[in-house]
């Protein structure tokens, strides 16, 4: 419906609302992206309302029901301490989604302004920033995050900071490249001719035009950040026990992998499906935000 | 010539680095603009003609202080304006606005027409906030757009309409001179004349001056009071439109005029077309840049740069050592009588016979 509208310039009045429904519509129309969006929304709802959606207390230990296979009382089974796995998955989603979202926000808050400055100012600023970023990107991401997390001390908050800082160079490089592309457009020169100041050109004219690429990168990085949070928690550098996170659940599960494999399967599947959903959503966003389709 | 010039450029030069060594030191430079002087008076249109890559656009942007010149100065109403701080330049630039070749990339795709046109009003505080929407509507109507279209985005407009938005935005800054950089060459022919007529109309109503950059002599003839011809970063001939286009003195101008398409089938070109390729601007030929392609070139042309001065008979100033001794150019305009070829075609057409 929105495509038909945007092709008929006659329909005028509720413009803002139209373009916004248009964006969601363009995502939903792509089936894979819609599935991704649906699963992400489901996980967010489950996580936000965890006290009501989780059937049990995620920390309550029940020594009469240790390592129970999936069944009617415990749909996903119980772990080595008799804790309900479904409840721990739902509470763990809080940690994972929070870690993903916040670390991406940290990465963008650091990376986008630096990339914008480097790309827009060029010259020595750009050369120094680029060499520095290249050097950091040469270090494997996980190693960097582990070093940072270990230095900061194990906690979910420090894991998020470590992932965010490690992912920032990605955003520096992406932003810089996008700015270089946008800077060559005539409308940037036009903005200068009309009397815009340099900060205003960068923020008002260039940033909105490179935002689609950044949003897409954010969703993809969010998926990666969830994996890295799980990795750090698995290594004991993230969520502190006994609080659940998908990574620390995997860590617990490995000790009884041969006797009770379902303990590992559920958090593994949760990570897999959530990351896949964010990736599908990111791909869908990339298509939906393509400026040639005339979004916004 | 004593009338105050809106813009006067003296000895402008600009070179760009095209090659660097390992340490980032420049090794090769291209002289985009080489010691060019020009001026544009009030309500005057100066056309800047030349092949692509000859430095027309660079010159236009230097005149507007969008890129700083390496050498030379720009004056506006006798006040030097080049080499000032960025803050001052923003005020200066308001008086000289730019219309781009490609209306598709000249408009920020994420701003509405109204925002785009209103931006100069806001930036320079030309109109109180409350009156801005009304002023935007006024500007849109002045360029032939409907005011209710203000909340549409650029992709919802056609190429010609976008160029009208670009012009409205330029007008919003209340400029005295507009640099038009090939303003119609990206547009359909039918739209071209509409935009040209709009520019002429606005000039008459608002008393604007234009620096009109183009490679299309047909368009130049329609628009220009004076014409400057550029070749490899230098002006080779400058004078009134009639002088330059009807009695060109410089061999390059002659070749350019002769190669312009003429609506007359079978007509022989007045002068031989220019032979060879444009020399590399990184290593332009010594002396007169044009000597490698000039049919009249002699030894002096390879050694000495000719001055840009009028000949003994007056008329346009030409940078040619032989400006007075070249054989007169054939009239480039077609004579009123139809050519024999056209006459044959027409009789065949009227007879309706198939040979």
Give tens-digit pLDDT for A37-93.
Answer: 999 999 999 989 988 888 888 888 888 877 778 878 888 888 878 888 899 999 989
- C-alpha radius of gyration, chain A, whole number: 23
Q: Max alpha carbon distance in chain B (Å)?
A: 75
Measured between CB atoms, does A14 come within 8 Å of chain B? no
C-alpha triplet B50, B52, B55: angle, nearest 5°: 70
- Listed as ranges, residues in chain A with pLDDT below 50 are 1-18, 294-296
Q: Is the pLDDT of residue B155 over 70?
A: yes
Asked whether residue A200 is assigned to any structural domain, the reply reads yes
Token look-up 């002087």 returns B37
Determine, for residues B156 and A9 on separate chains, whether the beta-carbon distance falls below 8 Å.
yes
User: Distance (Å, rounded) from C-alpha A198 to C-alpha A219?
Assistant: 29
User: Distance (Å, rounded) from C-alpha A210 to C-alpha A219?
Assistant: 15
Asked whether residue A78 is assigned to any structural domain, the reply reads yes
User: Distance (Å, rounded) from C-alpha B211 to C-alpha B7?
Assistant: 10
What integer pLDDT is reported at residue A8 of this predicted model? 39
Tell me the mean pLDDT in the region B231-244: 90
Asked whether residue A91 is assigned to any structural domain, the reply reads yes
Q: For strand B177-181 and strand B209-214, is the pairing parallel, antiparallel, or unpaired? A: parallel
Domain count, chain A: 1
Determine, for residues A296 and B110 on separate chains, whether the beta-carbon distance falls below 8 Å.
yes
Which residues, in sequence order, are CB contacts of B314 under 8 Å at separation 6+? none
Which residues, in sequence order, are CB contacts of B279 under 8 Å at separation 6+? B232, B285, B289, B292, B293
Of B64, B151, B153, the CB nearest to A193: B64
Q: Is the pLDDT of residue B257 over 60?
A: yes
Q: Is the peptide bond before A242 cis (omega within 30 degrees of 0)?
A: yes
Q: What is the Cα B93 distance to its own chain's centre? A: 18
Q: Are the C-beta atoms of residues B12 and B33 closer than 8 Å to each other?
A: yes
Of B94, B106, B109, the CB nearest to A195: B94
Instruction: For residue B346, give how far its alpha carbon lies from the nearest alpha carbon of chain A (Å).
Output: 46
Would you tell me how many other CB atoms lie within 10 Å of the CB of residue A108? Answer: 22
Instruction: For residue A33, give how far its alpha carbon lies from the nearest alpha carbon of chain B (Å).
Output: 24
Distances (CA, A) of B308 to B263, B278, B298, B319: 32, 21, 18, 4
Angle between helices A85-121 and A246-253 (to 10 degrees): 130
Distances (CA, A) of B3 to B6, B41, B43: 9, 8, 12
Measured between CB atoms, does A138 come within 8 Å of chain B? no
Instruction: For residue B325, give how far its alpha carbon lies from the nearest alpha carbon of chain A (Å).
Output: 45
Asked whether residue A295 is assigned to any structural domain, the reply reads no
- pLDDT digit string (tens) for B88-100? 888 878 888 999 9
User: Distance (Å, rounded) from C-alpha B157 to C-alpha B144?
Assistant: 13
Domain that residue A250 falls in = 50-281
A-chain CB neighbours of B123 within 8 Å are 194-196
Number of H helices, E strands in chain B: 11, 12
Predicted ipTM of the assembly = 0.79
Would you tell me how many other CB atoms lie within 10 Å of the CB of residue B66? Answer: 17
Asked whether residue A161 is assigned to any structural domain, the reply reads yes
Asked whether residue A167 is assigned to any structural domain, the reply reads yes
Determine, for residues A291 and B109 on separate chains, whether the beta-carbon distance falls below 8 Å.
yes
pTM of this prediction exceeds 0.90 = no
Instruction: For residue B163, give how far its alpha carbon lies from the nearest alpha carbon of chain A (Å).
Output: 12
CATH code, A238: 1.10.3720.10
A24 in helix, strand or coil?
A: helix
Q: pLDDT-derived band of residue B352, with 50, 70 and 90 as boundaries?
A: low
Determine, for residues A194 and B166 on separate chains, whether the beta-carbon distance falls below 8 Å.
no
Which residues, in sequence order, are CB contacts of A88 under 8 Å at separation 6+? A58, A79, A244, A249
What integer pLDDT is reported at residue B328 of this predicted model? 67
User: Distance (Å, rounded) from C-alpha A269 to C-alpha A32?
Assistant: 18
Q: Which residues, numbered 144 to 203 in chain A, qualify as contacts with chain B under a Cβ-Cβ cut-off of 8 Å?
A: 185-187, 189-198
Asked whether residue A241 is assigned to any structural domain, the reply reads yes
Measured between CB atoms, does A3 come within 8 Å of chain B? no
Determine, for residues B98 and A198 on separate chains, whether the beta-carbon distance falls below 8 Å.
no
Asked whether residue A119 is assigned to any structural domain, the reply reads yes
- pLDDT digit string (tens) for A208-221? 889 888 988 898 89
Would you tell me how many other CB atoms lie within 10 Å of the CB of residue B51? Answer: 14
User: On the CB side of B67, how many CA atoms lie within 13 Å of its CA?
Assistant: 18
């Amino acid at each position: 419906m929105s495509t038909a509208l945007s092709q008929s310039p006659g329909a005028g009045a509720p413009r803002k609302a139209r373009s916004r429904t248009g964006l969601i519509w363009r995502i939903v129309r792509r089936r894979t992206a819609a599935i991704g969006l649906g699963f992400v929304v489901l996980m967010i709802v489950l996580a936000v309302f965890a006290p009501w959606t989780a059937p049990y207390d995620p920390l309550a230990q029940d020594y009469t029901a240790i390592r129970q296979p999936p069944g009617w009382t415990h749909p996903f089974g119980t772990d080595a301490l008799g804790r309900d796995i479904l409840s721990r998955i739902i509470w763990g989603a809080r940690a994972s989604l929070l870690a993903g979202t916040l670390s991406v926000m940290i990465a963008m808050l650091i990376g986008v302004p630096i990339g914008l400055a480097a790309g827009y100012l060029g010259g020595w600023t750009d050369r120094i920033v680029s060499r520095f970023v290249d050097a950091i990107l040469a270090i494997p991401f996980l190693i960097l995050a582990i070093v940072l997390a270990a230095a900061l001390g194990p906690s979910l908050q420090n894991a998020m900071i470590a992932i965010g800082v490690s992912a920032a160079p990605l955003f520096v490089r992406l932003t810089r490249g996008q700015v270089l592309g946008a800077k060559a457009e005539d409308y940037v020169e036009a903005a200068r001719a009309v009397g815009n100041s340099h900060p205003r050109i960068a923020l008002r004219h260039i940033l909105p035009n490179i935002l689609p690429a950044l949003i897409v990168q954010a969703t993809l990085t969010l998926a990666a950040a969830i994996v890295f949070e799980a990795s750090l928690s698995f290594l004991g550098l993230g969520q502190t026990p006994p609080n659940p996170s998908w990574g620390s659940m995997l860590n617990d599960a490995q000790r009884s992998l041969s006797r009770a494999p379902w303990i590992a399967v559920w958090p593994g599947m949760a990570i897999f499906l959530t990351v896949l959903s964010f990736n599908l959503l990111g791909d869908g966003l990339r298509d939906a935000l393509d400026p040639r389709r005339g979004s916004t | 010539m004593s009338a105050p010039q809106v813009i006067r450029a003296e000895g402008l030069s600009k070179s760009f680095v095209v090659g660097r060594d390992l340490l980032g030191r420049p090794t090769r430079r291209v002289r985009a603009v080489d010691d060019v002087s020009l001026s544009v008076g009030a309500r005057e249109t100066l056309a800047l003609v030349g092949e692509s890559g000859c430095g027309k656009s660079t010159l236009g942007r230097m005149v507007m202080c969008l890129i700083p010149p390496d050498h030379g100065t720009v004056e506006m109403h006798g006040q030097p304006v080049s080499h000032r701080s960025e803050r001052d330049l923003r005020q200066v630039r308001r008086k000289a606005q730019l219309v781009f070749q490609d209306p598709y990339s000249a408009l920020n795709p994420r701003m509405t027409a109204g925002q785009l046109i209103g931006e100069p009003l806001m930036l320079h505080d030309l109109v109180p906030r409350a009156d801005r929407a009304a002023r935007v509507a006024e500007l849109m109507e002045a360029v032939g757009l409907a005011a209710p279209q203000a909340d549409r985005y650029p992709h919802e407009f056609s190429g010609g309409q976008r160029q009208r938005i670009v012009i409205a935005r330029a007008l919003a800054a209340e400029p005295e001179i507009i640099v038009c950089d090939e303003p119609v060459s990206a547009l359909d022919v039918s739209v071209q004349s509409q935009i040209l007529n709009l520019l002429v109309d606005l000039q008459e109503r608002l008393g604007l001056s234009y620096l009109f950059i183009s490679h299309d002599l047909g368009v130049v003839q329609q628009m220009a009071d004076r014409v400057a011809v550029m070749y490899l970063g230098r002006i080779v001939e400058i004078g009134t439109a009639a002088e330059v286009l009807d009695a060109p003195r410089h061999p390059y101008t002659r070749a350019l005029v002769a190669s312009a398409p003429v609506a007359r089938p079978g007509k022989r070109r007045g002068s031989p077309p220019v032979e060879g390729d444009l020399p590399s601007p990184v290593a332009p030929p010594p002396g007169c840049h044009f000597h490698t392609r000039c049919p009249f070139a002699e030894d002096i042309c390879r050694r000495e740069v000719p001055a840009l001065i009028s000949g003994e008979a007056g008329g346009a100033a030409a940078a040619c050592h032989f400006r007075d001794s070249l054989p007169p150019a054939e009239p480039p305009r077609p004579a009123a009588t139809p050519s024999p070829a056209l006459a044959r075609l027409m009789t065949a057409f009227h007879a309706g016979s198939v040979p």
